[in-house]
């Protein structure tokens, strides 16, 4: 049976609540204190947009608890994408200010000095061997370490919801990770298998103080939900978050496949939830919405443009897609729609806390 800790929190108590959350989830049975521990930070957009990327208090609360319990070798691990600038994102999402104050080391996984080395998984891959015919590469710094995934509670245009499983996507695949979008659910299951092989300890802490529904991660509606979750079971924590959002976990392929393969527990009735009572929670989030940009991508991944996928997304002309996504989200959607939502969110208690960092 999977175990997931869930508690409600407030801006005034969130740091202490994260410490209590980790203890409720028995995190020390999953992680070893005397080895390197990576906090895998999520940056889904270089601009601050609530629920889109790891919250500063999420890093703060988790890192303070780990340090207090003797985890001295902590590193915040960031990654960029073809559409996200990690340096700008680390600044604007206030990750840097927390990491600097706590004295955390940090790395950006996509750039030197981090090296990527060939890796041959022991487990049979569902799709990655076919996508990357020249072989898989992983960050050289990862094998033999603990990793703590730091996702947020939100929906996603390609995976219905995104959480612990999706958070590994940025850390274990290089900048051509978008090659896997047409088989994204199977890819995330493959990455979970790889994580279980290379990491000595695996844990996830999810922040739902702000949560997002609709066409995530960069065009969501923002909600204050005041909840945080933790688990050593990456599948179970995603399943619980999905259920809270009003989604059927076992209808989401990545959760169902991972459950069926014995990589975690995806059926809510088989998961032990400790902490606060969430049995009747249903936020009625929409997990199947798209943006103009994602609709175009889906035509390539799953629609009539599928025969052109290689030319459009894997050839020298591929930067057109990155340019189109950036223009849509940064030049149109954010100033026309998103900025107003951010400003409203900043007026809430959680928004006020963000501004204090």
Classify 67 as helix, strand or coil: helix
Please give the C-alpha separations between residue 38 and each of 20, 214, 312, in angstroms, as whole numbers. 20, 30, 35
Q: What's the gap between Cα 145 and its chain centre?
A: 19
Average pLDDT over residues 93-115: 94
- Where are the chain's structural domains? 2-289
Share of the chain above pLDDT 90, in %: 79
- Residue of 118, 251, 121 lying closest to 190 (CA atoms): 121
Bridge-based pairing state of the strands 37-41 and 271-275: unpaired
User: Is residue 168 a contact partner of residue 204, using CB atoms and an 8 Å limit?
Assistant: no
Bridge-based pairing state of the strands 201-213 and 37-41: unpaired
**pLDDT at 157 (0 to 100):** 87
Strand-pair partners of 204: 149, 231
User: Is residue 171 a contact partner of residue 183, using CB atoms and an 8 Å limit?
Assistant: no
What does the block give as tokens for 171?
A: 């850390």
Q: What's the gap between Cα 354 and its chain centre?
A: 19
H or E, element range at 223: strand 221-231
**pLDDT at 344 (0 to 100):** 98
Say whether pLDDT at 53 is over 80: yes
**Dihedral (Cα; 299, 167, 255, 3), 10-degree rounding:** -160
Classify 19 as helix, strand or coil: helix
What does the block give as tokens for 242?
A: 């999905």
The residue ranges of DSSP E strands in 214-347, in sequence order, are 221-231, 271-275
Share of the chain above pLDDT 70, in %: 90
Q: Specify the CATH architecture of the domain 2-289.
A: 3-Layer(aba) Sandwich (3.40)
- Long-range CB pairs of 315-320, under 8 A, 24+ apart, other chains included: 319/82
Q: What is the pTM of this model?
A: 0.94
Say whether pLDDT at 318 is over 60: no
**pLDDT at 225 (0 to 100):** 98
Residue-averaged pLDDT of the chain: 92
Whose tokens are 């940090």? That residue is: 106
- The model's pLDDT over 169-207, given as tens digits with 9 standing for 90+, comes to 988 998 688 788 889 999 999 999 999 999 999 999 999
Confidence of residue 1 (pLDDT cuts 50, 70, 90): confident
- The model's pLDDT over 285-308, given as tens digits with 9 standing for 90+, comes to 987 786 666 665 665 666 676 675
- The model's pLDDT over 3-35, given as tens digits with 9 standing for 90+, comes to 999 999 999 999 999 999 999 999 999 999 999
Q: Where are the alpha helices (DSSP H) in 42-152?
A: 56-68, 86-92, 95-102, 128-131
What does the block give as tokens for 125?
A: 């891959």
- Residue of 285, 278, 235 lying closest to 260 (CA atoms): 235
**pLDDT at 288 (0 to 100):** 77
**pLDDT at 176 (0 to 100):** 80
119 phi/psi in degrees, rounded to 5:
-140, 130
- Residue of 341, 349, 323, 68 lying closest to 226 (CA atoms): 349
Which residues fall within 8 angstroms of residue 323, CB to CB, at 6 or more apart?
Answer: none
């Amino acid at each position: 049976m999977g175990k997931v800790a869930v508690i409600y929190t407030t801006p005034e108590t969130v740091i202490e609540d994260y410490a209590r959350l980790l203890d409720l989830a028995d995190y020390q049975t999953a992680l070893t204190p005397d080895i390197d521990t990576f906090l895998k930070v999520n940056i889904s957009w270089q601009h601050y947009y609530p629920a889109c990327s790891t919250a500063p208090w999420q890093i703060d609360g988790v890192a303070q608890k780990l340090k207090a319990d003797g985890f001295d070798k902590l590193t915040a691990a960031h990654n960029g994408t073809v559409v996200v600038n990690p340096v700008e994102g680390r600044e604007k999402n206030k990750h840097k200010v927390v990491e600097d104050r706590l004295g955390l080391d940090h790395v950006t996984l996509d750039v030197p000095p981090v090296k990527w080395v060939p890796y041959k998984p022991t487990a049979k891959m569902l799709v990655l061997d076919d996508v990357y015919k020249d072989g898989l590469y992983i960050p050289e710094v990862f094998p033999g370490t603990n990793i703590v995934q730091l996702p947020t509670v939100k929906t996603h245009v390609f995976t219905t919801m995104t959480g612990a499983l999706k958070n590994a996507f940025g850390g274990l695949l290089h900048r051509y990770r978008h090659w896997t979008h047409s088989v994204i659910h199977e890819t995330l299951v493959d990455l979970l298998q790889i994580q279980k092989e290379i990491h000595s300890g695996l844990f996830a802490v999810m922040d739902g103080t702000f949560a997002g529904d609709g066409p995530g991660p960069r065009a969501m509606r923002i909600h204050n939900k005041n909840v945080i979750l933790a688990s050593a079971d990456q599948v179970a924590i995603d399943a619980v978050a999905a259920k809270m959002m009003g989604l059927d976990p076992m209808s989401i392929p990545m959760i169902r496949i991972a459950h069926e393969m014995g990589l975690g527990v995806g059926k809510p009735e088989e998961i032990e939830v400790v902490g606060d009572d969430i049995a009747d929670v249903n936020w009625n989030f929409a997990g199947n919405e798209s943006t103009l940009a994602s609709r175009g991508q889906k035509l390539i991944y799953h629609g009539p443009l599928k025969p052109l996928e290689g030319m459009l997304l894997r050839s020298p002309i591929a930067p057109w897609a990155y340019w189109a996504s950036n223009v849509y989200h940064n030049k149109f959607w954010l100033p026309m729609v998103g900025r107003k939502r951010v400003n409203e969110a900043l007026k809430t208690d959680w928004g006020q806390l963000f501004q204090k960092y």
